Amino acid sequence: MDTYTAVKNRLLRLCEEKRMSIHKLATESAVPPSTVKNILYGKSVNPGVVTIKMLCDGLGISLTEFFDTPDFQSLEQEIR
């Protein structure tokens, strides 16, 4: 799994757990809905850490909680 897929999957999983639509996530995070959709549907494959932090704020979690999953812990090194 690559980093982009891990971020996308984590966002989708958190939205599902919190019963939050993509639009609601965008509203709660103060991130434009188009930005959230671009991340989730592959147009933006390198979201910035500030954007991810804002999404975490909207989800009510910390960056540590966002990245503390087996998917992120098992990522291969991107640069070889």
Instruction: Compute the mean pLDDT over every residue in the chain, rounded to the nearest whole number.
Output: 93
Among 71, 50, 59, residue whose Cα is nearest residue 28: 59
Q: Is 43 or 62 the better-scoring residue by pLDDT? A: 62
**Domains of the chain (ranges plus CATH)?**
3-72 (1.10.260.40)
Mean pLDDT of 25-50: 93
DSSP letters spanning 5-21: HHHHHHHHHHHHHTT--
pLDDT at 79 over 90: no
Please, is 2 exposed, middle or buried when counting C-beta atoms within 10 Å of its C-beta (0-12, 13-18, 19+)?
A: exposed
pTM for the model stands at 0.89
pLDDT band at 28 (very low <50, low <70, confident <90, very high): very high
φ, ψ dihedrals at 58, nearest 5°: -65, -30
CA 67 from centre of chain: 9
Predicted confidence at residue 80, as pLDDT, reads 72
